[in-house]
Amino acid sequence: MHELSIARPLAKEIEEKCKGKNPSKIIIAVGDASGIDTAFLRHSFEDHIFPEKKWQDAELVFEKEAPTLICRKCGKILHDAVQFACPDCGNIDIDINSGNRVYVKEVICK
């Protein structure tokens, strides 16, 4: 379960954003291409991080982020992540542009 090792730096970022206050709502974006299991990430926060930090009253929300791809030749953004060639130029050198990260999207502090 590597989700706890992902949750710890996210918790540090949340602490920095709250500047000594406790979070009341935490929104974390989880890219579909990140390989992260949100159930395990929720467990890491609710059973480990929240008790450690005394954040039990915080609402934890996960927002899924669909992946987009980018053609390395012409720069076209592809929203259909199952394509293996650019529909504009035919290039097969495609990278993930977004949807492969896990990050703190928003924190509301009280």
Q: What is the pLDDT of residue 97?
A: 93
Least Cα distance to 26 among 41, 40, 11 occurs for 11
Mean pLDDT, rounded, for 17-23: 96
Show me where the domains of the chain are located: 3-67+99-109
Q: Residue 84 has what pLDDT?
A: 79
Structure tokens at 101: 């990260």
pLDDT of residue 43: 96
Q: What is the pLDDT of residues 50-100, one digit of tens each?
A: 999 999 999 999 999 999 999 999 999 999 877 778 999 999 999 999 999
pLDDT at residue 2, rounded to an integer: 80
Confidence of residue 1 (pLDDT cuts 50, 70, 90): low
Q: In the chain, which ranges are continuous DSSP H helix?
A: 3-18, 38-44, 50-53
Per-residue model confidence (pLDDT) at position 81 = 73
For the chain, the first-to-last Cα distance in angstroms comes to: 31
Q: What is the CATH number of domain 3-67+99-109?
A: 3.30.2320.50
Instruction: Find where tokens 């009341």 sit.
Output: 24
User: Which residue matches tokens 């915080």?
Assistant: 58
